[in-house]
Structure formats: structure tokens, C-alpha cells
A and B are shown apart, each in its own frame.
Chain A
Amino acid sequence: MSAFSAIGEDREIEQDEFTPGIEPQATWCPGCGDFSVLKALKQAMPEVGRTPDETLLCTGIGCSGKLNSYFDSYGFHTIHGRALPVARAAKVANPGVEVIAAGGDGDGYGIGGNHFMHTARENHDMTYIVFNNEIFGLTKGQTSPTSPKGHKSKTQPSGSAKAPLRPLSLSLASGASYVARTAAVNPNQAAEVVAEAIEHDGFAHIDFLTQCPTWNKDARQYVPYTDVQDSDEYDFDITDRQEAGEMMYEVESKLYEGEVLTGRFYKDDRPSYGEEKRATGEMPEQPLAERYFDEDVEWERCADELIDKHT
């Protein structure tokens, strides 16, 4: 019997199970988009059939990083920018665990940008939700990597001279195998996209537009929005890398012109990292974490395996 009986447990799951008894009420500002991520995630979990005990949510630092105070599961609130390397190793250690990482735009596209690129490239079977409010929320409103050019803040008083980063294009170029954008103001789509992302076998990245009414007052509330999959105006194949790339470029450009386009932009069914690594023979079939609870494992000894060549 597995030492991890929560994994793959087959039972009815209630959305309420994900509401912690300790901090049930989130303390984000009224009107904050972060509430919608929490709600979408709670809705998606029963949908995908995953329980709190088989889910690990790793977050970074920011208002967004508070997510796992309000979401009950195994939770690891890490440090600024480092949710992804912690999360992906947990997946390598125990592939049966449902691993989700989350953080802000500063956290994921700025300080943790290198990890974002490489985790996407490796295509770990996990979900990454970026709360993109185009601002540093927690540190009180500085310009972020996704703030529009000309954005004024206390640290860029005359307006940012930098063009914003293109998160979807970056994700695609880096190797993410599922890329979507949704918005806090679009809860139905958000819950569906989150569920799809969790079910996707590979690195699924959601750029989640979350308005910050406190520090980003000038910013759009991301309304009205268009779901590109529902619109006749857009016709592209999300499994075609080139079409997806062109669509993303347009979506990113439009956002800064004031038009909000959301939807799924890319999906690729290439093997996940775990499958690739197992195929090379450099990752065992038995989950690493199981070994420590399995009395039948014969532990290898250096004295038997390695010392001969030194004699």
C-alpha cells in the first residue's frame, strides 16, 4: 500500500474543503482581483477531482503569495520569486502530488523570471498561475515588469521608459505547453481555464489579470473583455505554434491599447519532464518519496556498488 493514500483517492470532493478553518476570510483589499483567483481555484479542484491532502500549492511573495493562507491544502509560502523551483522539485520527488505554483507579476516575471523560463522549458507537469496586476502590490505600488510604458509610480515618477514584458510570448518561447490568459472579472472562464491547466500533462501557465484598485487606480478593470475562443473575429489554431505566437503578440499589444483579450492560446501534448526523464533512465519508476516508507526497498550501498573501482 502506498504511504500516500491521499493520492488518487476516489471520493466526492466539496469546494468547501479548500476553505481553511484558520483564515477563512481573505484580507485582500475590497475589489482586489486576487479574490477571483482563489475562487476559480476552489471551483476547479472538485472539478478535476483533487483533494486538499494530495495538492501542494507553492507561492511566492506578494499580495498574491497570500493565496495559500486562504486555500487549504499542503501549502508552501516560499520567498520572492522562488515558488517554481521549490514546486517543480516536489513534483520530481513525488509525481502523484498535484503541484500548483502561484505568485505575482513581479514575483514570476521579474525576480523569478529565470526560473519561469527554465521551468517552462523543462515542461514539468504542473500549473503556474501568475496574478498579473501590472504592479507591485504588496510593496505599495511600484512599477512592475508588466506595467505599461509611461506608467507613473513613486519609483518612476516621470513615467516608465520601459516597454512591458510580453508574458505569453515569453512563456511560449520558453517551452510552456499550455498557455492561457484569463481575468478576474471573468469568473466562469477563469474556473474553466484553471481546471484545464491542472488537467494538462505538462507545464500550464495562466496569466491571470487581477486588478489592483489600491495601487493601480489608473489601470483598466479589465472590462470589457473578449474571449478569443468565443469571438468570430479571431480564428487560430492553439496547437499551431506559429499561429499561437502571432495571436499572443496581438493580445499583448492590444492590452496596452486598452483592449482585453483572454482565452487559451497554446496547447501542445509533448511528453512532460517526468516522462522524458524516466525515458533516459535517470529517474526511477517508483516515486522518490515512496522509497523512504517502503520496507521492501533494498538500499544500495557504496561498499557494494562503487568501491571496487578504487582498489
Chain B
Amino acid sequence: MTDQELIWRIAGGSGDGIDSTSRNFAKALMRSGLDVFTHRHYPSRIRGGHTYVEVRAAEGEVRSRGDGYNVLLALGDSFARNPQEDAYYGNEELKPLTENFDDLREGGVIIYDEGLIDGEQVEEVGLHEKAEENGWHVYPVDLRAIAKEHGREVMRNNAGIGVMSTLLNFDTSYYEEIIGEVFNEEIAEANRKVIEQGADTAEEFDEHPALQMPTAEEPDAEQALVSGSDAIAYGALDAGCRFISGYPMTPWTDVFTIMSQNLPKFGGVSEQVEDEIAAASLAIGASHAGVKAMSGSSGGGFALMSEPLGLAEMTETPLVLVEAMRAGPSTGMPTKPEQADLEHVLYTSQGDSTRVVFAPGNHQECYEQIRTAFEIAYEYQIPTILIYDQKLQGELRNVDRSFFDRDPDPDAGSVLTEAEIEEAAHHNSGKFLRHEYDGEKGISPRTVPGQKGGRFLTTGNEHNPAGHISEDPENRVLQMDRRRGKFEYIREDLDEKGNQTHHGPEAAEYGIMTWGSHQDTVFEAVDRLNDAGHSVKALGVSDMMPYPVEEVSAFLESVEECLVVEMNASGQFRGLTQKELGRFGPKLSSLLKYNGNPFEPAEIVDGFESSIDGEDLAATNMKYVPAAGD
């Protein structure tokens, strides 16, 4: 723990404005020159559950959620259904305070709304003793009264910000600037007064915490605060995607919503349809007709897309899907992250799977890899899938604004123009030969309906070059080999892109491998391990299929042992690695977590050290699975 780092938690009821306040707060810190990263924790209901958002901020690079937190703004749950009754979970109104005790660091700060959270009850749950034990500083303030005096009750968030400004020496000028941008002048003014009075009220406290707000020089470059969903949606738009079809499901809904709100401005169309079978089928239909199209879902909805996905493989229709993982099986834990759909996405649908799968490791990779997904899908006429999770979906992070300064990609891939069609091979009956054996890199160019001279047949049945159903053994093998032969060329293209991310000293003794959203958390842990005298490097893998066999083999050859970190119970990525490489079994062990909360960097540090020392992880939220033959 460093003094320069703030990890601020705002906790309240779902519906208490936690999301918007934390977003504004994070943005204000970003504008002040700090790096920021947020982590959301919320229940799967609209009202009556309690929720928190963490904002981690520091002057240096911040790329993950932190370890615990050090400042709590507990609003109390104003939407608690039975506020006074002892609910099954303990008093509902009190929960945003009491449920957050465990992770608060020593010397931490608690500001809570006395207007809603009853002081006597707070004593009953032993806050006083706990505070003494841990050196916490506790500040009860009637935030509700302050908010009501100058505006409305929902403004109590900002009363809390005011209190913080005094206690933590937080300069609210950027925050107030943002308030001025998001509200009309009357409401903004009321909010400013609420902040001011919160600040004044806090003057009454004699004792201030040692912890103070981190500050920064002006940032060099203008920053943008984006979520993983923003990055995916924006990457898709810049990739030239102009059609999306979907059916809501957490956490995929976010990408679907961002696309739906922006596609009309970009001259595109969004279709909300009856189910996910339709969603995937519509994307196929639009793509077949010449449009860059996508769909997506989370685990359950993606299961329904299984058969259309196979249709795209067989008919070589370009298709981009995204799969936003949440904890399974079945409905599982809808608002909790997990990385347990890897095998689902790789192998669902009958037959040998012929698809490309990417798992971006952070926000920038979300943007870049969805663009690559479109490029590959439309060039190679193959479905591509971007798999991510609830964690990456909702995390906000600052990225250089200039990162997004890219040209859009209007290229529809291997589609012929009418002039090219005239030159292209046709059956003597006039039919265009859509599925020719000998296309370059296995690609047989396509035409789209309405183009003169381009008519062809395609089918989910095995077919001959003219697209007619065929069960001829020779044709079968030729077509299978051609479709699957594209992998070799795709692998070459992907090697050029360099989607795998390496971190740490090249000559390190140990390795840590991970995939998808935990990449930067692992990197932070690796830095700490090296600082503590260990010799460790990390590899974040994004290409799930075709697998980067050479690159991962070289990495594993260079280390003594490798710990594979992932958020599931069965070590799916480790299994994939062993299957693809066919060796290294004795070198690979797993660090797993599947309780619904993402790894903190310190947990990975712990897990790594315990794995080396052969210590038991039973008392933690993690599980260690030793290497085969260990």
C-alpha cells in the first residue's frame, strides 16, 4: 500500500446514483492528471440490492483494480425495502456500510451518511471497536440533510464529495466543472452548494486522516475515460460495422446498447429481435447481403447461437460475434465476472470448429482486436468471436485520446465488384462458382445479391464449388481442407499483429500466463514480485484460435515453471494450452478463482508465492491446481 494511491469506494443502494457519481469522480481525477481505473460490484436487480464502485487513482500507471481500498463513502441504502427490519442479510439500510468493512485497509477513512444510517445501530455492529483495531478514521455526517437543504436527496453523494474535499484535501474544481457539463445550470448550482456545505460541515472535525488525495502534474496528452464495452463498440464502428442484431443479456447488453445508440448517427441499423438464434441469423443475413455485421450475447444467449454459428462456418459467411462472460452454469450469477465460457465459445456447434477467437486483455486490446476480428472475418469469410467478461465490460480506465485517432475501415473484404464478377469463374449454366477449391489462401471470393452475374447458391449442407449439395468424398475433403486451411494464413496475419502481450524481465526463471481481462492485474503482480526479489515474467494470450503455438512454446521453454491464472474452476485455458502444444504438462499449474470477484494483484502475488513454497491456499478465495505429474 502506498500513500500516493487512492482507492475510493462509494457504496449505496442500486438506484442511489452510485454509477454516475463514480464516473464523474473518476473523470475529474483523470482531468487532474491522475491515472484511474474503476471496479463495479452490483447485484442482479434494479432496486433493493446494494452496490459499490471503486475508483483507484494514482499518479503513475494504474491498470487494474487494487488491493482492498482506503476511503469509503457509505451512503446507506435509500431504497432498502425493509429498512428497519433485520433482513436475512442484516439490516438492509446499513449494508452499504457494514458489508464493506472487510476490504478497508488499515488507516482507512469512512464517511457515512448519518441521515440514513442510524448511529446507534452502527455501534451495535461494532464499528467503534473495529475502527480502533484498524486505525480507521470515521466521519458520520448528515449528508441527507445537507442535500435536502440545497436541492434534492439524491445530491447526498455530492455532500459526501464536499466532506472529502476538506478531510482529504481534494480540490473539487475539476469535479465541479463536470457537474456543470452534465446538469443544467440550476441543478449544477444546487450541487455546487451541496458540495460547499459538505466541505464546511467537515471543518468541524478536529482530526484529519493522514491519507490525502494524490495529486499530479497536468497529463501530457488528453485522456479519455472508457469502459471495455465502449472500446469494443467503438472498434466495431471504426471497423465499418453498420449492422447489429441482438437480444438483451447482461453483460453483453452494454455493447448492444452503445451500438444501438450510435449506429443511426453512423448510417447503420440496429435490430433488437426475438431471441439469440434470430440475432445470429440476422447478422448472417445482413452479412450475406454485403454489410459488415455483428451480433453477440452472454453465455446463455450464445448457446442459442450455436447452430447459426455453424451455418456461418459452413457457408463461409463473414460474421463477428462477441461473447460477454458472466458466472455460469445456467443463469449463474448474472452480474459477476467469470472466464468459464472459453470452451463453450471455442467448440460449440456440430462439426470441427472453424472459427477465430480473440480474448482481449484490456481496453486498448478490445478496440484493436474487434477491428482485427472484422478484418479477418470479411477477408477470410469465417466467423470470428471476441470473448470478454463482465469485469472488462464495466471497468472504466483512462486511455490517451490519440489512441482512437484511427481511420475507419470500409473494406468489405473478399467481395467482388460487378466488373470483377464478369472476369470470375462461372459454371457454364451462368452460376457464379462461390465455393471454388483453389482460391488464394483458401479464400473463394464472394458476390452479394443484386450484383449482376453473381448469383450463386450456398448451403449449410456440404456443397460443391457451385454451392449445390454434395456428398462426394473427394469434394468433401477438398472443401474441408480449404476451409480449415485458412487457419495457417490467419495465423501468419495474427503473428504480424502481435496480439500476445509480454511483461517482465525476459530472462526470468518463472512464468505466469493468463488470458483475457486479468492480463493487466497479472502484470501489476509480476512487477511487485520482481520488486520483492522474485524472477518472474508474464504472458497475456489473446489469440485463442488459431492458437499462437510458437510464441507460447518459446515462452514456456524459457521458464522453469508457469502458473496459469484464470477465473474459472476447471482451468480451461491451461487445458487449451496443453491440448494445442501437446507438451509442458509438468510445467503448468493453475491459480483459479471463481467466487464472482476478480483477482486483486495481491492475491496473485500470494498465489504465486504459495505455489512456489507449496503452501496451502485453502484459507483464500483461490484454488491451486498443481502441474500434471507433480
A→B interface (CB under 8 Å): 3-7, 9, 20-23, 52-56, 58, 61, 68-69, 72-79, 82, 85-90, 92-94, 96-97, 114-115, 117-118, 277, 281-284, 286, 288-289, 291-293, 297, 299-303, 305-307, 310-311
Q: How near does chain A come to B400, taking the closest CB pair, in angstroms?
A: 11
Closest Cβ–Cβ distance, residue B229 to chain A (whole Å): 12
Partner of B468, one of A23, A90, A97, A277: A23
B173 interfacial by beta-carbon distance below 8 Å: no
- How far is B401's CA from A144's CA once the two chains are assembled, in angstroms? 58
Q: How many A-B residue pairs have CB under 8 A?
A: 242
B460 and A77 form a contact (CB under 8 A): yes
B417→A21 contact, CB < 8 A: no
Give complex CA distance A28, B293 in Å: 36
Chain A residue numbers with a CB within 8 Å of B288 are 76, 86, 90
Q: Which of B266, B274, B311, B427 contacts A115 (CB under 8 A)?
A: B274
Q: Mark B335-367, 1 if CB is under 8 A from A, else 0.
A: 000000000000000000000000000000000
| Cα–Cα distance between A55 and B274 once the two chains are bound (Å) | 26
B290 to A, closest residue via Cβ: A289
Give a binary string over B421-441; 1 marks a CB under 8 Å from any A CB, 0 the rest.
000000111110000000000
Q: Which of B12-20, B210-218, B234-242 contacts A (4 or more CB under 8 A)?
A: B234-242
Closest to B275 in A: A114
Q: Does B264 lie within 8 Å of A281, measured CB to CB?
A: yes
Residues of A within 8 A of B415 (CB): 292
Residue of A nearest to B234 (CB): A302
Q: Does B80 touch A at the CB level, under 8 Å? A: no
Q: Which of B285, B401, B412 contacts A292 (CB 8 A)?
A: B412
Q: Is the CB of B270 within 8 A of A282?
A: yes
Is B467 engaged at the interface, CB distance under 8 Å to the other chain? Answer: yes
**B483 close to A (CB within 8 Å):** no
Q: List 20 A-B contacts (CB under 8 A).
A: A3-B451, A21-B428, A21-B429, A53-B449, A74-B454, A76-B457, A85-B273, A85-B278, A89-B282, A92-B282, A94-B449, A115-B277, A283-B269, A284-B269, A292-B240, A299-B410, A300-B266, A303-B404, A305-B266, A306-B262
- Interface contact A85-B401, CB-CB below 8 Å: no
Interface centre among B242, B273, B284, B449, by most A CB within 10 Å? B449
Q: B450 within 8 Å of A by Cβ?
A: yes
Q: Please name the residue on chain B nearest to A305 by beta carbon.
A: B265
B451 lies within 8 A of A118 (CB): no
B-side contacts of A74, CB under 8 Å = 449-450, 454-456
Q: Least Cβ distance of B177 to chain A in Å?
A: 12
Q: Mark B238-262, 1 if CB is under 8 A from A, else 0.
A: 1010110100000000000000001
A78 to B230, CA, bound (A): 33
B346 to chain A minimum Cβ distance, whole angstroms, is 21
For residue B453, give the distance in angstroms from its CB to the closest CB of chain A: 7
Q: Which of A75, A86, A277 contacts B281 (CB 8 A)?
A: A86
Q: Give residues 268-301 of B contacting A (CB, 8 Å).
A: 268-271, 273-275, 277-278, 281-286, 288-293
| Residue pair A92, B271 in contact (C-beta under 8 Å) | yes
Q: Is the CB of B412 within 8 A of A53?
A: no
B451 in complex: contacting residue of A4, A300, A306, CB < 8 Å: A4
Among A87, A282, A303, the most chain B Cβ lie within 10 Å of the Cβ of A303
In the assembly, what is the distance between CA of A23 and CA of B242, in Å?
Answer: 36
Min CB distance A14 to B, Å, is 13
Q: Tell me whether B230 and A310 are in contact (CB under 8 A).
A: yes
Knowing that A75-B459, A305-B262 are A-B contacts, what are 8 other residue pairs whose CB atoms are under 8 Å apart, sorted by A's residue number?
Answer: A61-B460, A79-B307, A93-B289, A94-B449, A118-B274, A292-B240, A303-B405, A307-B224
**Residues B224 and A56 in contact, CB atoms below 8 Å apart:** no
Q: Counting CB contacts under 8 A, is B81 at the interface? A: no
From 31 to 63 in chain B, residues with beta carbon under 8 angstroms from any chain A beta carbon are: 31
Q: Are A22 and B429 in contact, CB atoms less than 8 angstroms apart?
A: yes
Pair B408/A75 contact, Cβ less than 8 Å: no
Interface check B151, CB cutoff 8 A: no
Alpha-carbon gap, A2 to B269, bound state (A):
20
Residue B315 at the A interface, CB < 8 A?
Answer: yes
Interface core residue of B262, B410, B454 (most chain A CB under 10 Å): B410
Contact partner, A297, options B238, B307, B410, B418, Cβ 8 Å: B410
Contacts of A61 in B (CB 8 A): 460
Q: Is B406 an interface residue (CB 8 A)?
A: yes
| B315 pairs with A76, CB closer than 8 A | yes
Complex contact B449–A97 (CB within 8 A): yes
- Which of B224, B285, B457 is A93 in contact with, Cβ under 8 Å? B285
Q: A311 and B466 in contact (CB under 8 A), knowing A4-B450, A78-B311, A292-B415?
A: no
